[in-house]
Amino acid sequence: MDLTGMIQNPVEDQNSEQKLSKEEYAALKKQEREETWMQIDGQAQSVFKDGASLQKFLDFMTGQYNMPKVPNLLLLYSQNPEVKLVKSFDEWKHDRRSLRTGVHGYTYIIDTKYEKDGEMRSGYAISKGYDITQTKGRPLEERPQRDIHTLLEAVLKNQNIRLQIADNLPDKIQAQYIPNQRTIYIRNGMSEITTFHAINRELACAALDQHDGNYARNRVNAQAFCATYILGKRYGVDVSGFDLEKVAGIQEHGQKDPQELRLFLNDVRTAAYGIRGHIERNLREPEQQFVTEDTFTVGESEKKSPDKGKKSKNEPER
């Protein structure tokens, strides 16, 4: 007997979560959050396993400027360390790009707002994002390469902290941030690459100064060093002299509490992305201040003075 066409299995319900009770749905979402944070914490510890592992993660951070949360960086890295630029479906749509057929999104965390007891509160939800390689459409603007001299000018221009050349710095001190003076002292005459890294390291230290009297250089040195590496990698400046093994050792090769490791990475992100934003603003082409324009010049009205003894049309009768 041919049963073809007689047996009809039920179609898989894509919205099965909607059939759960309120309690079941809450339990499901709680489990999802717990599993996500376990994944994040595990990756945080893995990042600091050794210098090579940390370097690979910092390379990953270099290209993820649009992802401001460290948990998301760790979460995406654990799923695919090769992703380049992850955005939501709506964000890609806004960029005039669409998803390729059959792609599966990456899990990441999004901020949410909700009302409870008459008050608006902040929360988060687990959602899906898509890498640029999973999309097609309008190409993104390419970033031009800049020479080291141009990069240095962009770093130094319009800084909100005082920069001063110092010829009497102690040996082996390339540059240093002095918190009570809010000044970075810089040795003159170094190579451009060394100068670029040294200034960025001290700017990172300054960025991590909370100005509460508790600044201590030994508490921000490692974070500033990692931030400097990211900036060098970002702009194609030689980073072969960076040894990240000591940083991994300071973090006990990932054996510290995962939350402490995430806080360390958040300091790195804060410093690196802040300095990068300053550089990017200064690298933008300035608009011309004065442009001669004949075609759309607004002409002046030609008014003739009324003849003496005659009343102007607009002059009221007495």
- 85 and 147, same domain (yes or no): no
- 127 and 204, same domain (yes or no): no
List the domain range (segments joined by +) for residue 61: 21-135
**Cα–chain-centroid distance for residue 316?**
67
- 181 and 238, same domain (yes or no): yes
CB 260 within 8 A of CB 245: no
- 148 and 283, same domain (yes or no): yes
pTM: 0.80
Residue 45 lies in a domain: yes
Please give the pLDDT value at position 140.
76
- 282 and 149, same domain (yes or no): yes
Residue 117 lies in a domain: yes
**Cα–chain-centroid distance for residue 100?**
26
- 129 and 166, same domain (yes or no): no
CB 201 within 8 A of CB 175: yes
Tokens found for residue 235: 């702009």
CA dihedral 237, 243, 244, 249 (to 10 degrees): -170
Considering only CA atoms, which of 64, 66, 98, 99 is closest in space to residue 82?
64
- CA-to-CA distance for 161 and 177, rounded, in angstroms? 10
- CA-to-CA distance for 230 and 43, rounded, in angstroms? 19
Tokens found for residue 123: 């929360």
Residue 152 lies in a domain: yes
Please give the pLDDT value at position 111.
84
Please give the pLDDT value at position 298.
67
Residue 220 lies in a domain: yes
- 119 and 148, same domain (yes or no): no
Please give the pLDDT value at position 299.
60
Tokens found for residue 229: 């590496």
List, in sequence order, every residue forming a beta bridge with 185; answer none if it has no partner.
164, 176
Residue by residue, pLDDT tens for the chain (318 residues) are 555 555 544 444 445 455 788 888 888 888 989 999 999 999 999 999 999 999 999 999 998 877 778 999 999 999 999 998 899 999 999 999 999 999 999 999 988 888 888 888 888 889 999 999 999 998 877 778 899 999 999 999 999 999 999 988 999 899 999 999 999 999 999 999 999 999 999 999 999 999 999 999 999 999 999 999 999 999 999 999 999 999 999 999 999 999 999 999 999 999 999 999 999 999 985 544 455 555 566 666 555 555 555 554 444 444
- 117 and 43, same domain (yes or no): yes
